[in-house]
Amino acid sequence: MDIRTKLEILADAAKYDASCSSSGSKRKREQGGLGNAEGPGICHSYTPDGRCISLLKILLTNYCIYDCSYCVNRLSSGVKRARFTPSEVARLTMDFYKRNYIEGLFLSSGVLSSPDATMEELIEAARLLREEHRFCGYIHLKAVAGASKELVERAGLYADRVSANIEVPEARDLGRLAPGKTHAQIEATMQTVKTALVERQPESRALVARSQTKRLYLPAGQTTQLIVGATPSSDRSILDKSSALYATYRLRRVYYSAFSPIPDADPSLPLESPSLVREHRLYQADWLLRFYGFRASEFVTDAQTQNLPLEMDPKLAWALAHRGAFPLDVNRADKRALLRVPGLGVRNVERILLARRQRRLRLDDLARLRVPLSKARYFLQTADWNPSLRQLDTKALTDSLVSRKERQLSLFEAPRLALSGEL
Ligand code: SF4
């Protein structure tokens, strides 16, 4: 099989892994033009500073000894199979890089004869890139659950980031859908990565201090993916799981991937994808968990389904359910309380804390600090403004706050929203 055919098969097979987000662009190169957004396997991810970079996103192979019912590459699937050698992956990456198509590699794989055999080949591809081709770009490797500690640790010598996918929040659902995998095994792999990172922390700090960042161990840490809608698990249980994973394994990021029905699917799986708005609300809640001091148990969810509301973002839903906590005096409230005000982001709060050292803030000051007042003013009190005087009931407040855009988002399938965040 020629490389181009392998690339088409193995790039297509990799698209279900959301650990890096894809643009889904279909634009072809025009005659006489430069660049091509349609190259198979090219996807886009975001750096911590919001920069978008393109990655070659492929599988080493789509052969797999496991039979996970949600996966197009499972043992019993009739898909066409292909397999790259590590040196083919390295050459392809360099070829794409030299043509300026990509800035990095996202390499995952089906499981060959064993997790160790697969991990060894993934590591070899990364080693060839780093040592033979002297490739300094970004490399994200799949950490194969069940691979030995030594191999998982070794992957970090070459990769910027690794990810072991937890897949679904409930261990019993994983046992039913993916008979070859267990949460215990996947979390043991995450633990190995965490321990390796912690042990090398002093060395990493010293390297950063000497600006020798090229030799850092796994500088972009580890991530995981949770599939949304393949099982009946609620948003509450998904966010509980994410929260526990962040706290236990110091994950950089949990990715939420709306389940998409696959060809020749197992009959136990749903026939339709969940709403992409649901996936979007989970990302918003995840952001609040990581940067705004929210706990998973605090999110407002539907009493029956335990899912987040689709028609408004989780922070606004929390604020409307806690009207007694507002209005908040911007001249006195602490950082933690200010971060809960709808419309106030981390930067807004930092600007407010700095500015109020100089004087008592008024509504115009907030506008100058670029606070989005259309939402925030219902929850904030300043030297010249007190919204409690307006005596809006919760229904009227909700109507004025839930924007037309949000309403449309909950009514129609939203396009997959570009998710800013680190790689
Ligand atoms: S281990 Fe499961 S999810 Fe991964 S490639 Fe194999 S069948 Fe698919």
> Among the three residues 233, 266, 288, which one is the final residue of a domain in this structure?
233
Distance 110 CA to ligand 1 centre (A): 5
Q: What is the average per-residue pLDDT within 384-389?
A: 82
Indicate the top mutation candidate among 9, 61, 74 to test ligand 1's pocket, ranked by most ligand atoms within 8 A of CB.
74
What Cα–Cα distance (Å) separates residue 283 from each residue in 32, 133, 212, 225, 288?
Answer: 40, 37, 34, 12, 9
Which of 305, 193, 304 lies closest to 249, judged by CA? 193
What is the domain range of residue 131? 3-28+38-233
More confident residue, 80 or 420: 80
* Ligand 1 near 13 CB (within 6 A): no
Nearest CA to ligand 1 atom 2: 68
Q: Which atom of ligand 1 is nearest to the CA of 178?
A: 2
In a domain, 284, yes or no: no
In a domain, 332, yes or no: yes
Distance 55 CA to ligand 1 centre (A): 21
CATH at 60? 3.20.20
DSSP three-state, residue 12: helix
> Among the three residues 190, 215, 233, which one is the final residue of a domain in this structure?
233
Task: Please give the pLDDT value at position 214.
Answer: 65
In a domain, 299, yes or no: no
**Confidence label for 247 from pLDDT (cuts 50, 70 and 90):** very high
Task: Please give the pLDDT value at position 410.
Answer: 52
- One domain for residues 126 and 11: yes
Residue 241: partners with Cβ closer than 8 Å, 6 or more residues away: 166, 169, 226
123 close to 130: Cβ distance less than 8 angstroms? no
The per-residue DSSP string of 55-95 comes to EEEEESB---S---TT-TTSTT------B--HHHHHHHHHH
* Ligand 1 near 69 CB (within 6 A): no
- One domain for residues 17 and 150: yes
Q: Which atom of ligand 1 is nearest to the CA of 71?
A: 8
Q: Where in 138-241 does DSSP place strands (E)?
A: 138-142, 161-163, 222-228
Task: Please give the pLDDT value at position 332.
Answer: 96
Rounded CA-CA distance 229/272 in Å is 9
**344 pLDDT exceeds 50?**
yes
What is the CB neighbour count within 10 angstroms for residue 337? 15
What Cα–Cα distance (Å) separates residue 340 from each residue in 207, 281, 348?
Answer: 37, 16, 12
**107 pLDDT exceeds 50?**
yes
pLDDT > 90 fraction of the chain, expressed in percent and rounded: 61
More confident residue, 42 or 327: 327
Tens of pLDDT, residues 23-59: 334 444 545 554 444 445 566 666 555 566 788 999 9
Which of 307, 304, 160, 296 lies closest to 233, judged by CA? 307
Which of 155, 63, 169, 51 lies closest to 109, judged by CA? 63
- Token pair 């606004």 in the structure block, residue: 316
Distance 178 CA to ligand 1 centre (A): 8
- One domain for residues 223 and 366: no
In a domain, 245, yes or no: no
Nearest CA to ligand 1 atom 5: 110
**Confidence label for 18 from pLDDT (cuts 50, 70 and 90):** low
Mean pLDDT of the chain: 86
Number of domains in the chain: 2
- One domain for residues 226 and 339: no
Task: Please give the pLDDT value at position 261.
Answer: 83
Task: Please give the pLDDT value at position 246.
Answer: 97
* Ligand 1 near 64 CB (within 6 A): yes
**215 pLDDT exceeds 50?**
yes
Rounded CA-CA distance 318/377 in Å is 16
**Confidence label for 101 from pLDDT (cuts 50, 70 and 90):** confident
In a domain, 43, yes or no: yes
* Ligand 1 near 66 CB (within 6 A): yes
In a domain, 336, yes or no: yes
Query: What backbone phi and psi angles, to 5 degrees, belong to 393?
Result: -80, 170
- One domain for residues 220 and 346: no
Tens of pLDDT, residues 257-303: 998 887 777 777 888 888 889 999 999 999 999 999 999 999 999 99
Task: Please give the pLDDT value at position 402.
Answer: 73
In a domain, 76, yes or no: yes
Tens of pLDDT, residues 148-201: 999 999 999 999 999 999 999 999 999 999 988 999 999 999 999 999 999 988
Task: Please give the pLDDT value at position 374.
Answer: 87
- One domain for residues 350 and 203: no
> Among the three residues 199, 233, 267, which one is the final residue of a domain in this structure?
233
Nearest CA to ligand 1 atom 7: 74
In a domain, 10, yes or no: yes
Q: Distance from CA of residue 252 to its chain's centroid?
A: 9
Indicate the top mutation candidate among 63, 71, 79, 186 to test ligand 1's pocket, ranked by most ligand atoms within 8 A of CB.
71
Length of the chain: 423
Tens of pLDDT, residues 60-77: 999 999 999 888 899 988
Task: Please give the pLDDT value at position 24.
Answer: 36
